[in-house]
């Protein structure tokens, strides 16, 4: 039976479904807009995802799906839909949103209209891939840290920023970990500092070695800082005397990378990634890198193996008995 379209209705949303399903879809759209109060763009995206889902079902089932068809869908049917999306090369983030739209629709059918389908609840989608770290080349990391002490700013600020960036690259600290340090962390002789106790995520503490060049930079900053660095006060101070804010550091690095022609991926956190990647490239053990970074799980650290796969392959070929 032909249905008259009303103004504002997405034509594709109703073109592939049976008449008994139309009012249920309209009910879901109203719920999204007026009860859930989703942003208009999000609602439009959900409608597009549902339309694509219904189009798949029409092809998959050999006809426009109705209420009875939705009740009868099994896990294999939903997996076939996901497989179709994967085969078309759609991004995981796009499929995750589409799955959220379809799940929401089926929950709405269950709660508001008594139409239940247990199959969707049993469907599990692989977690999205974590974006790979984007480290700098060693020359880029060194140029970024060195440039921090050659800008137009008070000398103590230049030494502060240089020491901070060296700490990120030389010790693999997160920016939050570095800025949370108190003066007491350096001890009585910053120039002779050989290790640093850092509190990371989840309150986990770790001991990280400190290179002489990093210790020297920290000592130089402490010596010239015009503000009183009390034993239990912040190590890195802003120009107004409080603990240095991460946004100030990010802005400074952004200005430095523009001047050096470095990519947008050159951020304070990229220095931490670079620390780990360059250690791995030099043959450091992955477990050691895990300890230095303060990762609770080795699987998190293993993300760096994809960054330097060529180095790992070379080590494998050198070490494995069958490769000799």
So which residues are the catalytic ones?
A: 174, 201, 269, 272, 295, 304
Cα 190 to the center of its chain, rounded Å: 34
How many angstroms separate the Cα of 256 from the Cα of each of 133, 176, 235, 321?
20, 20, 23, 47
Q: How far apart are CA 178 and CA 165, in angstroms?
A: 9
Contact, 103 vs 82, CB < 8 A? no
**Read out DSSP for 85-111?**
HHHTT--HHHHHHHHHHHHHHHHHHHH
Task: Give one word for 202, left, alpha or beta, with left for phi > 0 and alpha for psi -120 to 50.
Answer: left
How many angstroms separate the Cα of 171 from the Cα of each of 8, 62, 291?
57, 61, 11
Q: How far apart are CA 165 and CA 2, in angstroms?
A: 67
Q: How far apart are CA 118 and CA 103, in angstroms?
A: 11
CA nearest 78: which of 61, 66, 90, 63?
61
């Amino acid at each position: 039976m032909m249905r008259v379209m009303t103004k504002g209705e997405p034509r594709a949303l109703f073109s592939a479904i049976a008449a008994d399903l139309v009012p249920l879809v309209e009910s879901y759209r109203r719920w999204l807009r007026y009860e859930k109060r989703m942003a208009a763009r999000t609602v439009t995206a959900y409608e597009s995802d549902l339309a694509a889902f219904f189009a798949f079902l029409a092809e998959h089932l050999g006809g426009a799906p109705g209420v009875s068809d939705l009740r009868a869908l099994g896990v294999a049917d939903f997996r076939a839909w996901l497989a179709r999306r994967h085969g078309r090369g759609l991004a995981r983030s796009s499929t995750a949103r589409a799955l959220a739209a379809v799940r929401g629709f089926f929950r709405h059918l269950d709660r508001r209209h008594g139409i239940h389908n247990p199959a969707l609840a049993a469907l599990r989608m692989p977690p999205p891939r974590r974006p790979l770290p984007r480290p700098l080349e060693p020359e880029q990391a060194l140029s970024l840290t060195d440039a921090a002490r050659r800008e137009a700013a008070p000398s103590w600020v230049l030494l502060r920023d240089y020491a901070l960036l060296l700490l990120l690259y030389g010790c693999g600290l997160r920016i939050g970990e570095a800025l949370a340090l108190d003066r007491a962390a350096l001890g009585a002789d910053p120039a002779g500092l050989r290790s640093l106790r850092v509190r990371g995520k989840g309150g986990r503490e770790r001991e990280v070695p400190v290179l002489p060049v990093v210790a020297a930079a920290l000592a130089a900053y402490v010596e010239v800082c015009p503000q009183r660095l009390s034993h239990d006060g912040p190590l890195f101070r802003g120009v107004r005397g409080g603990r240095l804010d991460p946004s100030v550091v990010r802005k400074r690095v952004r200005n430095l990378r523009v001047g050096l022609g470095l990519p947008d991926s050159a951020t304070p956190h990229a220095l931490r990634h670079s620390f780990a990647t360059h250690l791995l490239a030099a043959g450091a053990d992955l477990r050691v890198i895990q300890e230095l970074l303060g990762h609770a799980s080795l699987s998190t650290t293993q993300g760096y193996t994809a960054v330097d796969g060529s180095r790992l392959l070379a080590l494998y070929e050198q070490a494995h008995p069958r490769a000799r």
